[in-house]
Structures are given as structure tokens and as C-alpha cells.
Amino acid sequence: MARKIPVKLVMQYRDQGFSRNMIAKTQKVGRSSVSDVFQRADRFNLS
């Protein structure tokens, strides 16, 4: 079963200056998943 990515938390941690690796470890998701969230947020100018 696939695990949902906590997008809101990832974005909050990003705003606080956490690294992708730290966010991935904290939320127990893959680094590539965190990178995907970052890329999509950048594409749509979300913060």
C-alpha cells in the first residue's frame, strides 16, 4: 500500500529552512518524494 505524502508538513518544514534530507527523515518518506513536492510547489508558485 502506498503511503500518502504529508504535503502541508513538507511545505511548512521547507518554509522553516529544513533540508530535503531532513524532511524526508522526519516524515519517513523518500527524498525523491520531497523533491517532487518542492518542484510542484515551485511550478505553481506555492509557499
Is this structure's pTM higher than 0.85? yes
Give phi and psi for 3, each to the nearest 5. -100, 140
The model's confidence at residue 47, banded by pLDDT at 50, 70 and 90, is confident
Nearest alpha-carbon partner for 8 in 23, 30, 21? 23
CA distance linking residue 44 with residue 3, whole number of Å: 24
Cβ contact 24:36 at 8 Å: no
pLDDT of residue 42: 96
pLDDT (tens digit per residue) in 2-45: 789 999 999 999 999 999 999 999 999 999 999 999 999 999 99
For the record, the C-alpha cell of 36 comes out as 517532487
What is the model's pLDDT at position 10?
97
